[in-house]
């Protein structure tokens, strides 16, 4: 048995610093209103689901082919093939009523936040640099070096409210593309347009002065991101609390660890009320608890309809958090579309996945057969709960010959928007399973405050190689009759293999 804390921490219902608070969400049709009145004092039928189940059908994505030669736009956006969008930049008003774009939807001109057309970036690679002034004059007129194209003719159009993951092998151009979109690098050719305020966390220590204290660097970095001193004064305590570095805030940042750099940098970036958040894989250097905190904040921004781009090597994270994936290879965009399809393509190219890839759960060697909800493992089925009650989610697996010896389960609790509310996983190292029937119990001793109906999505992978085996989203629901709550949650749980 293993005791864990879920992968996410609750985000605030709306940020205290925001210009645009999240739109209030009323009770779901058929559900009890938020607050104490939502609890029914009458005896409950444990097999009756109340509130009325939400529409939890998984989102559908159109099949999007890899971008063919000629820079055709897989998202069908006017202006993505070299012509400016109708109306030009004035077509988007970042302070107006947001027109958000959902998964798989084409991006209308009025919702375009980031537009890159024919973006290329060239660097010069010097093999033998001159080491003296004399040598520099002697070599004058010779070749300066070889051209290296980090990006070649990339077209990208991202709509308001989309969360997009950038993926690819090392050296594929992910970080360069993010820097070009952030305005840090100027493209060698092509055009880039970004609407709204940008906050970026692209390199370890970027925007920090090592000779200054953490306090001074908060003011320096936030001012570079466009905040006034009065605004920074108002947000300072919130930034420091989020970074959890109050005990180090007056130390010079040159004495900070890499993880502490990331804590302070991310805390500043998310407090500038950005319309667009750009995050490179610097979060990989932070400790696990703070990574979870950052992911919860990213999910909170996503729920508020902000535009998010982040680079990561965690393909599972892209599948669970992103509406789209951009796959880069040798500076070219080779896929733009459904995260599940893009991650499969990338795994094949990286050699971590056979050509056939993960199969449908019905034909996998480890099949998630059913899910059940109860107070205790093996207890009577129960689908309606109150906050504070115990909940056990039991996943039945059918393991056949040829299955991995050690498997790893990611179990996501998802709501109406298919965004994970919290995640539970089996212990590090995986579970040793042989052919036959097995049950994995995830026991939550105290349910958090929630209102609505929720489903379970299970992702099975090989614990030794990390290769995905299969994924299944169950149709069965459980309901919680508590006050309304927004954001992702931090939930304690226990994971145990039974049978």
Model confidence band, residue 440 (pLDDT cutoffs 50, 70, 90): very high
The confidence band for 144, taking pLDDT boundaries of 50, 70 and 90, is: low
**Maximum average pLDDT range among 86-90, 261-265, 439-443:** 439-443
Mean pLDDT lowest among 55-64, 93-102, 170-179, 357-366:
55-64
pLDDT of residue 118: 93
What pLDDT sits at residue 140? 65
B/e letters for 234-272, b = 16+ CB within 10 Å, e = fewer, are ebbeebbebbebeebbeeebeebeeebbbbbbbbbbbbb
CATH of 2-36+46-56+358-498, one of 2.60.40.3500, 3.40.50.10860, 2.70.50.60, 2.60.40.3080: 2.70.50.60
Per the structure block, which two tokens stand in for 41?
Answer: 């004092």
Q: State how far the alpha carbon of 73 is from the alpha carbons of 76, 90, 107, 167, 444, in Å.
A: 5, 22, 11, 19, 46
pLDDT at position 59, please? 40
pLDDT at 257 (0 to 100): 83
Q: How far is CA 276 from CA 133, 197, 302, 310, 405, in A?
A: 45, 6, 10, 11, 43
Q: Comparing 279-288, 409-418, 419-428, which segment has the lowest mean pLDDT?
A: 279-288
Rounded to an integer, the average pLDDT of 432-458 is 89
Q: Is the pLDDT of residue 34 over 50?
A: no
Evaluate whether 46 touches 380 at the Cβ level (below 8 Å).
yes
What is the tens place of the pLDDT at every residue in 208-238?
888 899 999 999 988 888 888 999 999 999 9
Mean pLDDT: which of 22-26, 53-57, 69-73, 171-175 is highest? 171-175
Residue 428, pLDDT above cutoff 80: no
pLDDT the model gives residue 47: 44
> With bands split at pLDDT 50, 70 and 90, how would you rate the model's confidence at 444?
very high
Sheet holding 324-329, edge to edge: 198-201, 276-279, 307-311, 163-167, 324-329, 332-337
Q: What pLDDT was estimated at residue 199? A: 83
Mean pLDDT of the chain: 74
The answer to whether residue 432 scores a pLDDT higher than 50 is yes
Residue 154 has pLDDT above 90, yes or no: yes
- pLDDT band (50, 70, 90) for residue 363: low
Residue range 264-278: average pLDDT?
87
pLDDT tens for each residue of 386-400: 889 999 999 999 998
* Res 190: pLDDT: 92
Residue 192 has a pLDDT of: 92
- List the domain boundaries for the chain: 2-36+46-56+358-498
Instruction: Reply yes or no on whether the pLDDT at 94 is more than 60.
Output: no
Q: What is the pLDDT of residue 401?
A: 85
What pLDDT score does 250 carry? 93
């Amino acid at each position: 048995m293993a005791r864990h804390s879920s992968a996410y921490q609750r985000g605030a219902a709306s940020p205290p610093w925001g210009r645009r608070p999240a739109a209030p969400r009323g009770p779901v049709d058929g559900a009890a209103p938020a607050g104490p009145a939502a609890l029914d004092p009458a005896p409950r039928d444990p097999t009756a689901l109340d509130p009325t189940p939400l529409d939890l059908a998984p989102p559908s994505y159109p099949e999007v082919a890899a971008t063919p030669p000629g820079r055709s736009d897989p998202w069908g956006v006017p202006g993505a093939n070299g012509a400016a969008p109708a109306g030009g930049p004035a077509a988007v008003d970042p302070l107006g009523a947001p027109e958000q774009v959902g998964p798989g939807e084409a991006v209308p001109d009025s919702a375009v936040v980031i537009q890159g057309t024919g973006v290329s970036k060239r660097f010069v690679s010097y093999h033998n640099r001159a080491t003296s002034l004399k040598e520099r004059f002697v070599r004058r007129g010779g070749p300066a070096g070889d051209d290296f194209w980090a990006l070649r003719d990339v077209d990208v159009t991202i709509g308001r409210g989309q969360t997009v993951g950038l993926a690819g092998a090392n050296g594929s151009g992910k970080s360069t593309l993010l820097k070009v979109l952030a305005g840090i690098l100027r493209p060698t050719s092509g055009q880039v347009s970004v609407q709204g305020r940008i906050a970026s966390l692209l390199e370890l220590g970027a925007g920090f002065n090592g000779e200054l204290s953490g306090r001074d660097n908060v003011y320096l970095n936030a001012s570079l991101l466009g905040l006034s001193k009065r605004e920074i004064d108002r947000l300072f305590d919130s930034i420091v609390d989020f970074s959890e570095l109050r005990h180090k805030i007056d130390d010079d940042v040159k004495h900070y660890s890499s993880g502490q750099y990331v804590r302070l940098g991310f805390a500043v970036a998310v407090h500038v009320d950005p319309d667009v958040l750009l995050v490179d894989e610097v979060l990989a250097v932070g400790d696990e608890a703070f990574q979870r905190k950052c992911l919860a904040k990213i999910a909170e921004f996503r729920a508020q309809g902000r535009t998010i781009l982040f680079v990561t090597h965690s393909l599972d994270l892209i599948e669970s958090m992103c509406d789209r994936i951009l796959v880069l290879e040798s500076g070219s965009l080779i896929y733009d579309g459904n995260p599940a399809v893009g991650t499969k393509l990338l795994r094949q190219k990286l050699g971590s996945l056979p050509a056939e890839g993960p199969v449908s759960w019905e034909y996998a060697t480890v099949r998630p057969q059913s899910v059940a909800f109860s107070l205790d493992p093996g207890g009577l089925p129960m689908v309606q709960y109150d906050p504070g009650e115990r909940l056990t989610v039991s996943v039945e697996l059918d393991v056949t010959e040829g299955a991995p010896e050690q498997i790893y389960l990611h179990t996501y609790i998802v709501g109406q928007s298919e965004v994970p509310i919290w995640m539970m996983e089996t212990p590090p190292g995986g579970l040793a399973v042989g052919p036959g029937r097995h049950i994995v119990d995830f026991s939550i001793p105290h349910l958090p405050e929630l209102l609505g109906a929720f489903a379970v999505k299970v992702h099975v992978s090989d614990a030794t190689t990390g290769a995905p085996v299969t994924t299944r989203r169950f149709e069965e629901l459980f309901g919680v009759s508590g006050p309304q709550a927004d954001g992702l949650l931090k939930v304690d749980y226990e994971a145990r293999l039974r049978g």
